[in-house]
Amino acid sequence: MIDINWGVFAPALILLIAASLSLLLAVFNKNIKLSALISLTALVVSAGFNLALFNAGPGSSFDGQYLADTAAVGFNFVILLATFLAILISYDYLESRDLDHEEYYPLMLLSATGAMVMVAAGSMITLILGLEIMSLAVYVLAAWKQDNSASEEAGMKYFLLGAFASAFLIYGIAMVFGATGSFNYSQIAAAIAADGFDKAFYAVLGALLLLVGLGFKTAFFPFHQWAPDVYTGAPMPVTSFMSTVVKTAAFAALLRIAASLLLGLPSIIVQVIAIMIALTMIVGNLGGLMQTGLKRMLAFSAVAHAGYLGLAVLAAKTTGIQAAIWYLTAYAIMNAGAFAVLSLIVDEDDQGDDIELLDGFGKSHPMLAVALSIFLFSLAGFPLFAGFIGKIFVFQAALAQGYNVLAIIGIVSSLVAVVYYMRPVIAMYFKSENHKLSVNASMPTMIAISFAAVATILMGILPGWWYSLFEIGQRVVAGG
């Protein structure tokens, strides 16, 4: 008899119920603000149930196919927080641009639900289910700006490349199943570790295909090309959502697969992953250097940060999981904050984000300039900010496993990144004022910016308590 523990599903189930309720209410009531409030309430309630799972300790359902271990709970917190911030940014953004359609918030909740299923997946079948729930909603959100060619291109490009990547992922799963006889992570790990395992070739081939599929979602080189165009074309809150929630779900899945499968295979797999990580850090930061638009610059920044997170993947069997949870928490906060400020600067078509438009912004809008500076300093990895501590954790995880060269590449590429992160800061404080820039800051967006700025500083100067909150031990992934 299949073991079913409905309490394990509670955090994701609450979001699913809220999305359904919001859609039903939209039939009778066209008030999108009510839908936003329902969504925010559901996220808070879901976080409460997630905290209860955290206190209760590891659990599972469907015979280990859906996990509630501390890794899943930790990543769930990141997803809930990032979705909450994205909805706050969306609250007045949509209305000001006539994009406030009733389906928006339910789609965001459905995508977050799929992301939570991905991070809780104890088998590859559950992984695919979560991936498709998340992706289908994001495909629509990316193309949310109707009659806008950039948004339509973003949605179409993300859909076509996403479908292509999913095909690789599914075929890779089939190859791994053929090699190990199981979809379950713990059983896959046991099969690979067993004496006399003679299907390593098929397992390696399947692993390479899995890397292609998940490499797209994580924006690893060379599967990152979609990120700049899609991030630029999608509405600002959707870009914030994609860069945090989708990234969290993808890395959670990759970490589990790395611990149960990838790191147990012949060294060729680890070498491929290491090369991808190195090139991702290099290409992401060099690409950021060449950008003059803030949104596209942050898109290449997201690629570079995927490379840093890749260092945690190589340490998935040791300290990689807790390092990734901490890093993704910090990244979600500082990145959402940066996009929140940016949403107040761009025009109705999300254009006009050239760095030169920030000339004198520190004088005309001092509080927003300080907040944006905090986020940029943190993304660059300056001390006393959350991003600095996050990089220390992932670099330490890589060094502990002997990946010294990769850690050095990460440190050097971080120094290169300082150049493009400081360009907006220089424009804000050392250039004459640009009188063409007008900013109308709404209360929900200001709440998101204020929370993100304070959290970015607190995580940087008081990392110990935050790190211990998400410390998860080594119950990882090969079955919780």
pLDDT of residue 281 exceeding 90: yes
Helix, strand or coil, per DSSP, at residue 147: coil
Alpha helix stretches (DSSP H) within 181-235: 185-193, 200-218, 226-233
pLDDT at 127 over 50: yes
Q: Note the helical H segments in 57-199.
A: 70-96, 104-120, 124-142, 149-180, 185-193
Rounded to 5°, the CA angle 128-129-131 comes to 60
Q: Is 286 exposed, middle or buried (0-12, 13-18, 19+ CB in 10 A)?
A: middle
CA separation for the pair 148, 347 (Å, rounded): 13
Contact 467, 458 (CB under 8 A): no
pLDDT digits (tens, 9 = 90+) for 209-229: 998 888 888 888 888 888 888
Mean residue pLDDT across the chain = 84
Residue 474: pLDDT band (50, 70, 90) is very low
Contact 375, 294 (CB under 8 A): no
Average pLDDT over residues 2-25: 84
Cα separation, 417 vs 72, in Å, equals: 31
- Rounded Cα gap, residues 246 and 83, in angstroms: 10
pTM of the full structure: 0.90
DSSP 279-341: HHHHHHHHHHHT--BHHHHHHHHHHHHHHHHHHHHTTTTTTHHHHHHHHHHHHHHHHHHHHHH
CA distance 376 to 149: 29
Question: Could you give the CA distance from residue 428 to residue 10 in angstroms, rounded to a whole number?
Answer: 45
Q: Is the pLDDT confidence value at 383 over 60?
A: yes
State residue 111's pLDDT score.
Answer: 92
Distance from chain centroid for Cα 27 = 32
Q: State mean pLDDT over 278-291.
A: 90
Structure tokens at 465: 């308590």
pLDDT in tens, 341-371: 888 887 666 565 678 888 888 888 888 889 9
Q: Specify the pLDDT at position 470.
A: 54
**Which of the four pLDDT bands, split at 50, 70 and 90, describes residue 478?**
very low
pLDDT at site 316: 81
Q: How confident is the model at residue 333 (pLDDT cuts 50, 70, 90)?
A: very high
Q: Supply the angle between the helices 267-289 and 200-218 in degrees, to the nearest 10.
A: 20
Q: What is the mean pLDDT of residues 325-340?
A: 91
CA distance 426 to 466: 32
What is the predicted pLDDT for the residue at 373? 93
Give the amino acid at 351: Q
Calculate mean pLDDT across residues 372-378: 93
- Smallest CA-to-CA distance from 103 within 7, 39, 12 is with 39
Handedness of CA 362, 364, 368, 372 (dihedral sign): negative
**3-class secondary structure, 449:** helix
Q: How far apart are CA 375 and CA 353, in angstroms?
A: 16
Preceding omega of 106 cis (within 30 degrees of 0): no
Q: What is the Cα–Cα distance from 214 to 52, expressed in whole angstroms?
A: 30
Closest CA to 191 of 205, 177, 204, 201: 177
Percent of the chain residues past pLDDT 90, beyond the cut: 27
Distance CA 419, CA 355 (A): 13
